Structure 1
Amino acid sequence: MFMIASLLLCLWKPSLGGPSSKASWSTRLNSLKFLLPLLVLFLVIVGSIYLGWATPTEAAAIGVIASLGLAAQNHSLNGKMLMAALDGTIKTSSMILFIILAASFLNFALASSGMVQQLTGMLNAYDLSPFALLMAVIALFIVLGFFIETLSLMVITIPIVTPLIVAAGFDKVWFGIVMILFVELALITPPVGLNLYIVQASRRGEAFSDVIVGTLPYLAAMLVMAALLVAFPSIALWLPASLSQ
């Protein structure tokens, strides 16, 4: 869906795709060899996870080792490169930790105020139809996603919301996919959208409002995806049903 959104944006306004260049098909095919290191790195990281050899955290460490190996193969592994990589890692990690720390304080304030419990209590108090209950839960995720860090959002809401959804007759696997979609939505919604600050950190001095505006088409794409999942649950359930047969 994001690729479709990007394609439509570039078709509507080609300048959003950056400067364009023309090349023959032979040149394009010959250029694919430069993608091989990235493909190897992808296979090492994702392959080790899906084969059960490593957890995501361990796979990240394996990816670092593989990256060092690729850098050594390209004769670019030196002290200056390592110091630049460490400096960038420290800056990015520090920024993320400070954002998570601030979000944790906000989470504590919201939890202490009882806002989440009041919202879920409202859901229990009204005799809603299954569809109305689902819409209310989705609205709850959207509103809380503006202010609560994603992990805390799941920890706070899942134990309360999931029993209501299951009791209304919805599939657990389907709801898990829908929930993760809105948790990911929280990563690009201000003011606590973690990915917004990561992108802003790489832009070095540009206006933060540009990052927010740039996410709007992708927010719309995620909402369209959510609407399709609600209207056609088989989109999410087809593959699990096929594997279970």
Structure 2
Amino acid sequence: MLGFISIGLLGLLTLSIPVGIVLFLLGIGIDQFFTPFPLLRGLGSMVWSTSENAALIAIPFFVLLGELLVRSGIAARTYEALDRWVSWLPGGLVHANIATATMFSATSGSSVATAATVATVAMPQAEKLGYDPKLFSGAIAAGGTLGIMIPPSINLIVYGFLTQTSIPQLFLAGLVPGILLALLFMAMVAVICSIRPELGGQRRTFPLREMIMGLASLGPIIILFSMIIGSIYKGWATPTEAASVGVGGAFIIAAMFGAVSVKMITEALVGTVKITCMIMLVVIGASFLNFTLSAAGLSNELSAFLASLGLDPFWMLMVIVAMYIVLGFFIETLSLMVITIPIVVPIIVSLGYDPIWFGILMIVLIEMALITPPVGLNLYVVQAARKGGSMSEVMLGAMPFVLAMLAMVAALIALPQLALYLPGALR
């Protein structure tokens, strides 16, 4: 069955068939060849029960929130404000890329949207100020990955839905690792540009008055983050309700800046529909595949097989980490999550690991997949925003940040409380 899934997955993806359709086809194949049950008859009710789940309604709201921030110009103002505060560091504007990605991640929930936003506002500055195109582009691609770690995160919502884990607890667990990862990225840039200053472009300083005045541009992002996360942890709203509050807040702020128009709203809604349909097709296809895998007994068989290897929990975890790193080279991140979760998470829980902690560890590994070729989506998003240059420059520029992510993986394994302290303290 594993051979059928592996060959079928790679073969169908090679034919450029959409991932969601591939998951449906694999589920149908398992139903026809590996189970005696007429599972296909329940496909309609399964699609309906999955798509009506209230937790997933948060996805289009968070996507729309990000679209409104981008198209209203709030993201560009955030970038300019942060530039004034971090441009004096070794690496200058590269730090602004990472800092802006961190701020935008606190409201976006999507790595691709975060990378696209920062690339759009930052790229015009790179050549003008003499920055190394590899490092500058790689930092944007890496910073964009924070969109699925720092809450709210669409991938954490999907993980919580598929594992029946508390989404608010996952949001809390991702906050500290997300901030630490952003600091690791900035430390990596500072070290590189201290050793080779020519890569860091022109370091600029701004008058203190301009820096303080620029802080006003951070207000909308901070307000929206406080509204979303605060309402969840005060118990005033579920993640879905908080997402809708965020959309309302973003619309009001955009109106205050005079950025609301029929064209802007139309573009934001169309972009939201496209991204949401892609995500939901993958989630629904994964739900059907997970159902057929459970009916066929694959999860139980794999757990029994791995247990028979006699590896202790640590080395079993190392095998799983290595598996995610390798698969991340070839499989799109959301697909990688939904394909592996029903197999891996039961094994992780049986080994005594916390599913919330593992969710954060998985997200770091998924983030790594976003900036490793040949399938790293953020690499292609950044390259699309550039005016020339080769794809290899973006790939090479992202490699130092892969090392930072590996360091974060090691830190989470050595110190699980990095992810578990806040959920435990505020439970």
Q: Which residue of 1 aligns with 2:184?
A: 4
Q: Which residue of 2 aligns with 1:128?
A: 311
| Alignment deviations for residues 129-158 of structure 1 (CA, whole Å, 9 cap, x no partner) | 222111111111111111122222222222
Q: Which residue of 1 aligns with 2:204?
A: 21
Q: TM-score, normalised by structure 2?
A: 0.44
How far apart, in 2, do the equivalents of 1:86 and 1:205 lie? 30
Q: Which runs of 5+ in 2 are unaligned?
A: 1-180, 290-297
Two-structure CA RMSD over aligned residues (Å): 4.0
Residue 166 of structure 1 contacts residue 172 of structure 1 at CA under 8 Å; is this kept in 2? yes
Structure-2 change in CA distance of 1:197 and 1:235 (3 Å): same
1:83 deviates by 8.0
Structure-2 change in CA distance of 1:50 and 1:218 (3 Å): farther
Q: TM-score, normalised by structure 1?
A: 0.70
Residue 302 of structure 2 contacts residue 343 of structure 2 at CA under 8 Å; is this kept in 1? no
For 2:362, give the aligned amino acid.
M
Structure-2 change in CA distance of 1:120 and 1:156 (3 Å): farther
After superposing the two structures, state which structure 1 stretch, 49-58 or 34-43, moved more: 49-58
Residue 370 of structure 2 contacts residue 377 of structure 2 at CA under 8 Å; is this kept in 1? yes
How far apart, in 2, do the equivalents of 1:50 and 1:202 lie? 37
Q: Which runs of 5+ in 1 are unaligned?
A: 109-115
Residue 333 of structure 2 contacts residue 369 of structure 2 at CA under 8 Å; is this kept in 1? yes
Residue 148 of structure 1 contacts residue 192 of structure 1 at CA under 8 Å; is this kept in 2? yes
Residue 228 of structure 2 contacts residue 243 of structure 2 at CA under 8 Å; is this kept in 1? yes
How far apart, in 2, do the equivalents of 1:166 and 1:83 lie? 45
- What are the residue-to-residue correspondences of 1:3-82 with 2, within 5 Å? 3-13=183-193, 14=197, 16-44=199-227, 46=229, 66-77=249-260
1:227 deviates by 0.7
* Aligned partner (choices 399, 408, 415) of residue 232 of structure 1: 415
Aligned-residue identity in percent: 46
Residue 188 of structure 1 contacts residue 215 of structure 1 at CA under 8 Å; is this kept in 2? yes
How far apart, in 2, do the equivalents of 1:17 and 1:167 lie? 48
1:85 deviates by 7.0
Partner SS for 1:21: coil
Structure-2 change in CA distance of 1:56 and 1:149 (3 Å): farther
How far apart, in 2, do the equivalents of 1:26 and 1:37 lie? 20
| Alignment deviations for residues 190-214 of structure 1 (CA, whole Å, 9 cap, x no partner) | 2222222222222244322222122
| Alignment deviations for residues 111-170 of structure 1 (CA, whole Å, 9 cap, x no partner) | xxxxx9999897455322222111111111111111122222222222222232333333
| Alignment deviations for residues 191-242 of structure 1 (CA, whole Å, 9 cap, x no partner) | 2222222222222443222221222122111110111121222333333333
Residue 9 of structure 1 contacts residue 16 of structure 1 at CA under 8 Å; is this kept in 2? no
Structure-2 change in CA distance of 1:40 and 1:167 (3 Å): closer
Residue 147 of structure 1 contacts residue 191 of structure 1 at CA under 8 Å; is this kept in 2? yes
Structure-2 change in CA distance of 1:131 and 1:29 (3 Å): same
Structure-2 change in CA distance of 1:168 and 1:48 (3 Å): closer
